Structure 1
Amino acid sequence: MMKILRFTILSALVFSLSSCIDWDYFGLSPKAEITAFEVEGQSGTSQIDSLNREILVPVNESVNLDSLKTTNITISSLASVEPMVGEVQNFSDTVIYVVTAEDGSKVNWKVKAFRQTSEIQIENSNFDSWYETEVTWLFNKYTYNTPTPQSDVLTSRIWDTANRGAVASFVDGGNTTPQDRDGGKYAQLESIKVPIYNIAAASLFTGYFTDDLPPDAANPRNNTKFGITFGSRPVSFSVEYRYKPGTEYYENQNPATGDDQCDIYVILQKRVDGQRYRLGTAWHRSGDAVTDWTALNLDIHYGELPAGSPAFMGLNQNAGEEEVGFADPNDIPTHILIVFSSSALGDTFTGAIGSTLDIDNFKLNY
């Protein structure tokens, strides 16, 4: 159901030439980073300042700061952290987390929680913030402090693409790229021709593409974590878009006769004790050509889907992404998945070469 770029076997060959270890010297690692931090009742993505070792965690207005349990702390390889994930802390004041690197050195991180208003927007939803590395476009993942990529500071994971996988298939810059519009940018997603599998759909989504390379060519979904923390109840979403379906159609990577479709959707989930429940759904799948910028407005349906809803809108059963049922329609979500794809069935190597989806100015409405 979720769309993600398929990789060719060539990707594994390319990246197998480089080490999976993220330091380039021998000995014990001094790295003591925190790259993700989440608590119960979180309303948005934590802002991580790696330079000053500070983390700001937004939580719902109704949350009791005196007793919050951490649900995820991601740290450097071979490091450890205290307090550990799952422990309850008093976040009405700053909490110190100590990360111990493999070499025994310790780094103190200051973590602060703050209540956020209920009408939350997703950062960079106008799609203006991009930067280009030596190999590809990356989207809203780093604060770019200097011209040296090694000096980039990881602040949060909000939007991401599979461009690094596309580059592994020898696609310069990837197939999700920024284009100019009215003094800003928009995102252009294009399904492209690649070796072996013939077609690779472009995607843009909330979540992140794995930092571990080489990617899993046999199961590309293993490379992608869909969704970010979110704790509000929008009634609808809007986005400006254009779509041009391609004509060179493939089905399960074989030449075929058919019509391509784009996907634009929002899913709200409640994740509890390692299980995912569907709370809200808003989905646009269409093969109609839209040549001029057009405003799409779609209501979010809470709870079980109405009778007669398309099968593709149903509960996700992909391995590692399984939704076990529908949440109470009055619940507060814990995560939001926003997905755009140039070919709706691209994850099965199905779609048309040249299908192009342009998106701009995404907004949640309350």
Structure 2
Amino acid sequence: MKKMIMALAGLCTLFSCIKNNDLEYDLIECEVLEFKVEGQVSSFISKASRTVTVTMPANTDFTQLTVAQFAITPKAVSSLDIKPGTVLDLSQPLSFTLHVRESYEWTLIAKADAPRPATGAQLYNMSFDDWSMDGKTWNCFADDATDEQKTIWGTANSSLTQFGKDNSTVPVDDFVAVSGEGKRAVKMTTRLLDFFILKKLAAGSIFTGRLGDISFTTLNADLHWGVPFTDRPVSLEGYASYKPATINKAEDPYKDRMGQMDTGHIMVLLTDWAEPFKVNAPATLVDIDNDPAIIGYGKVVFDKATEKYEPFSLKIDYRSERTPKYVVIVASSSALGDYFTGGDGSELCLDELSFKYE
């Protein structure tokens, strides 16, 4: 009996060791972090499908593509010897394996860029010249704007003025990129505001879409991103001036940004969502990397102070040849404003936006 107990104890110890061995390391999911080919139009890494799609100019020889950049998860081993200068045949999808304890199959895909028209659609009031006031709230459309024109540009201004606060997004006529009669620009300012017993950061922003419901308990508002749009521009161009402040309000997961310099940004999405996307930050945001409805995407970050306007060009990288249904343009004086993180006083001015098609 004593021997049987000792044997059972030994088995328990053995099984315990096996279990501990199984759990002695954390699972590391191997990923492609960067992949670019010389002469490419764009490249897109999908972590969800473990694919890398490279778009090349028409008439490219897909059997002779030279790698410009390639990076994978640290310590991962690739079954293919890929490095800058490697020539790949991507006339067919090319699969390979990344391994760190576990193996993950990734696929490289090359496709030809879709033909683009020399000209295409623009949106109403991309010059930001047209503004009107409703009570104390600034709106980015003219007094005589049509009902359709009133739906193009949205701000959070009315959610602030309802609480007795100043507009965070306003027109300016004394600081414009292109001078002339009736010329204006848009100025967005981040402010740290007192709401009853709370201090809440409100980033200045403008977006294509409309402001939805406002919560008086959470002090949040729904933003309906996207307006109808079916063209495929190559880029968004315009003029910007940025004056960042030091981040003095930060919330999870960006509390470590306290004391750093703020950044602003402007972003473009072309999608085929069934309807405009309802954002309610920070709980509900667009998954930029993995949303399958995103057809094209691009972003420019403003991280330096400028005393005057500087031109910018935001290149749109396409992930699909599908026809868009909606376009989203979003700009903010604090890039992490969705997470109520930014610098009180950060200021972003934009002027004379336009889509380019060649």
User: TM-score, normalising length from structure 2?
Assistant: 0.55
Using CA pairs below 8 Å that are at least 6 residues apart, which structure has the higher relative contact order? 1
| 1:287 paired to 2:303 | yes
Aligned residue number for residue 341 of structure 2: 350
Residue 300 of structure 1 corresponds to 316
Q: Which residue of 1 aligns with 2:326?
A: 335
Match in the other structure for 2:148: 155
What residue identity is the alignment partner of 1:185? R
Which structure's CA Rg is the greater one?
2
> CA 1:348/1:134 → structure 2, altered by over 3 Å: closer, same or farther?
same
Match of 2:161 in 1: 167
Q: Give the letter for the 1:132 counterpart.
A: M
Letter in structure 2 aligned against 1:359: L
Alignment check: 8 A CA contact 1:190 1:357 kept: yes
Question: Do 1:270 and 1:276's aligned partners in 2 also have CA atoms closer than 8 Å?
Answer: no
In structure 1, the residue corresponding to 2:218 is in which secondary structure? Answer: coil
Q: Give yes or no for contact 2:192–2:344 (8 Å, CA) kept in 1.
A: yes
* Pairs within 5 Å for 1:217-232: 217-218=217-218, 220=220, 223-232=222-231
Retained in 1: the 8 A contact 2:246–2:259?
A: no
Taking the aligned partners of 1:361 and 1:215, their CA distance within structure 2 comes to 33
| Structural mapping, 1:263-278, within 5 Å | 263-272=265-274, 277-278=293-294
**Residue-by-residue CA offset, 1:134-193 (whole Å, 9 max, x unaligned):** 2211112xx635xxxxxx963341011110011133223x11000003231000000012
* AA matched with 2:120: E
Indicate yes or no: 2:208 matched with 1:206.
yes
Q: Does structure 2 conserve the Cα–Cα contact (< 8 Å) formed by 1:244 and 1:289?
A: yes
Which secondary structure does the structure 2 equivalent of 1:353 belong to?
A: coil
Q: TM-score, with normalisation over the residues of structure 1?
A: 0.54
Does 2:181 align with 1:179? no
2:137 partner letter = T
TM-superposed deviation, 1:247:
2.7
Taking the aligned partners of 1:233 and 1:153, their CA distance within structure 2 comes to 25
Which position in structure 1 is the counterpart of 2:240? 241
Q: CA RMSD in A?
A: 2.7
Alignment length (residue pairs):
214
Moved over 4 A (4+): 272-276
The CA distance in 2 between the partners of 1:263 and 1:219, in whole Å, is 23
Q: 1:205 aligns to what SS in structure 2?
A: strand
How far residue 273 of structure 1 moved from its aligned partner, in angstroms, is 8.8
CA contact (8 A) 2:247 2:261 kept: no
- Percent identity reads 29
Structure-1 separation of matches of 2:333 and 2:275: 34
In the other structure, the counterpart of 1:63 is none
Aligned to 2:92: none
Question: Residues 45-64 of structure 1: matches in 2 within 5 Å?
Answer: none
The SS at the match of 1:193 is strand
- Match of 1:364, SS state, is strand
Which residue in 2 is equivalent to 1:126?
Answer: 127
Partner of 2:15: none
Maintained 8 Å contact 2:119/2:356: no
Shift of 1:291: 2.0
Contact 1:249 1:259 in 2 (8 A): no
